[in-house]
Structure 1
């Protein structure tokens, strides 16, 4: 009898279990919980990081203007020299003799011209003879001035202020007036130039944005530049853009930009590799979206889920311009007021219902904080 009751109980239990599973399957799935950020417009300071090298503000090569033997070197190699400071002394003996000879010729021709003046007044000589004597006196005076200049050139002077290089010659070396090799070079390092390169396509984009009114220059039209050194440290002084090359390098497709930086401690030396952060301008009414809210489809297209009516997720294609800290600058596809899902994105489907709350996974943008300062 007991076995018969068991035979009836087993099918009933199976039926009851199946009914429970059907009820569970029929119950609607709970919408996934997501976090969102409401987008807004703001003014954004845009900048570009460009590679560059330092270059001296002024460079002067020291060359002799007369020939002779170097008697003395009058500077310390690597020291700072001032404009007009004597650097070398060339043997002046032959040039002193030339000055003395020219002076004697001046005295002779001047006396002859004065004597001819009295004679021409008494008609003892012709006017032509007197004119020739005056011309000879003037020629002698010019020769004297040239001899004096050559004597002055035996003192080789610094043409500019700056730091001087090592000397290419020593005492006793013979130098000539037209030699191609410099005796030394002087670099003016304060201020100092930084030459950076920018792709021509980026330059065209910037000009187009300015013409459309999307971008305005900051700081009364001055383009500010910050500098990062080879070791990664930041240079403490800010520079300003001074010059843009008028041609594009056909090999690289880049344009050279030149900025000037104060360099009172001579920390920056010519030829150093640096990274320059160039301020492009201010974009008003910019829309930024957290990077957590952006994904890529199989084609590489940027997409974002936006909360629509009734808290339904809507998938949108987005045009992104650049990163700014931990956010993307949006070109198209999103606008102020859109609620972009940044938390729980992997659980969302296009058109699916969600339970939305303010996102907790979005941190303040450090780039915006530094721009505000």
Structure 2
């Protein structure tokens, strides 16, 4: 019995020694990590907002004469040029009216010619007292009335010609013609201004945004304090992400900023203009915009992957003076691209760990392996905000 007891104690002793040796080895083994050295820098101030695509101009094509639509002469959803024929309205009634007015004009011209001839004949006779002055005055009055009648009917003929021209409905602007609202055989009315179709100018094209008045105020304060470098005349670039997640290749520029706040929403309206030669941006669709509004100056920003976000802020792992991992709470600012702006908690020279974070515990020794990995340090990037050790 004593033999078994001695054997059990021996086994337990060996197990305890092995576990102690393993724990000692784990505690002394340094974990390889990559770090960045914190430094103050300037980065783009990127504001992300949803936007809606809008045409630069919209023209409603309406009937300017009353009649029956004979033909639609354009293809729906295609680009049309300014002045291109879109519809034809039956001109028969207006042609008859034009012919009637033209006949009246011919008759009035004949009457006027006769009246003017009488005045010409009477002029020498009145000088010779062959006719009375009263007769000559009456002849002149008749001639003036006949000439005025000609002028009036000429104006009516021009109006009839315009009305006849309106039977061919043309595009008022160049752009993309939409769906036809009326079909062949439909009666359109000039007094009611029957809508026939719409033409939208979509190259270039607008994208409109709404930004909260509070954010606009914060930007103005940051400009005043020098935290944001943005001058009144600086061009503000905008880049778009399309609904399918792809990037729109051509950037646009902010061309309008409203100076009043919408009372219903508490927002300020902005608008950017984009080239749209291929018609990829469609009127009415929603897009995601990144607005590059100046540069944030003298700030600290670190990669998003280095930050653990909590309800009360965030934390990072740093390398302390003893070469061990330590937790450092930080106050987070804006997320600019893939970097968190750090308002407090870090200072230039701190070494922030950016790899193997899941293996680390506070107090564990670390081995900085930036050079051994063969990767370029973060300072080599064009817009780096921190440099690798």
TM-score of the aligned structures, taking structure 1 as reference length:
0.75
- 2:174 counterpart residue number: 161
Cα distance change, pair 311–175 in 1 and its aligned pair in 2 (3 A):
same
Looking at structure 2, the residues matched to 371 and 75 of structure 1 have their Cα atoms a distance apart, in angstroms, of: 54
Contact 1:70 1:88 in 2 (8 A): yes
Match of 1:274 among 262, 287, 310: 287
- 1:339 counterpart residue number: 350
Cα distance change, pair 296–79 in 1 and its aligned pair in 2 (3 A):
closer
Q: Deviations over 1:169-224 (max 9, x none)?
A: 22221111133542112222222221222222112222222233332349972111
1:176 aligns with 2:189: yes
Per-residue deviation at 1:289? 3.8
1:66 aligns with 2:65: yes
SS of equivalent residue, structure 1 residue 203 = helix
Contact 1:70 1:170 in 2 (8 A): yes
Contact 1:71 1:91 in 2 (8 A): yes
- 2:216 counterpart residue number: 203
Segments of 5+ residues of structure 1 without an aligned counterpart are: 1-28, 349-353
Match of 1:222 among 213, 235, 241: 235
- 2:165 counterpart residue number: 152
Per-residue deviation at 1:64? 1.0
- The aligned runs of 1:44-123 (5 Å cut-off) are 44-120=43-119, 122=123
- 2:249 counterpart residue number: 236
Looking at structure 1, the residues matched to 229 and 64 of structure 2 have their Cα atoms a distance apart, in angstroms, of: 52
- 1:21 counterpart residue number: none
- 1:9 counterpart residue number: none
Looking at structure 2, the residues matched to 179 and 191 of structure 1 have their Cα atoms a distance apart, in angstroms, of: 32
SS of equivalent residue, structure 1 residue 233 = coil
Match of 1:323 among 335, 344, 353: 335
Per-residue deviation at 1:74? 1.2
What's the RMSD between the two structures over aligned residues? 3.9
Contact 2:319 2:353 in 1 (8 A): no
Per-residue deviation at 1:67? 0.4
SS of equivalent residue, structure 1 residue 347 = coil
- How many pairs were matched up? 335
Looking at structure 1, the residues matched to 264 and 242 of structure 2 have their Cα atoms a distance apart, in angstroms, of: 27
Q: Deviations over 1:110-151 (max 9, x none)?
A: 333344344446352335444333322211111111000000
- 1:263 counterpart residue number: 276
Q: Deviations over 1:71-107 (max 9, x none)?
A: 1221222222211111111111111122222222222
Looking at structure 2, the residues matched to 235 and 73 of structure 1 have their Cα atoms a distance apart, in angstroms, of: 35
Cα distance change, pair 225–369 in 1 and its aligned pair in 2 (3 A):
same
Cα distance change, pair 304–370 in 1 and its aligned pair in 2 (3 A):
closer
Looking at structure 1, the residues matched to 169 and 159 of structure 2 have their Cα atoms a distance apart, in angstroms, of: 17
Match of 2:312 among 300, 316, 327: 300
- 2:22 counterpart residue number: none
- 2:7 counterpart residue number: none
Per-residue deviation at 1:44? 0.9
- 1:39 counterpart residue number: 38
Q: Deviations over 1:235-277 (max 9, x none)?
A: 1221121212343333332222211222222122112121111
Contact 2:226 2:297 in 1 (8 A): no
Contact 2:41 2:297 in 1 (8 A): yes
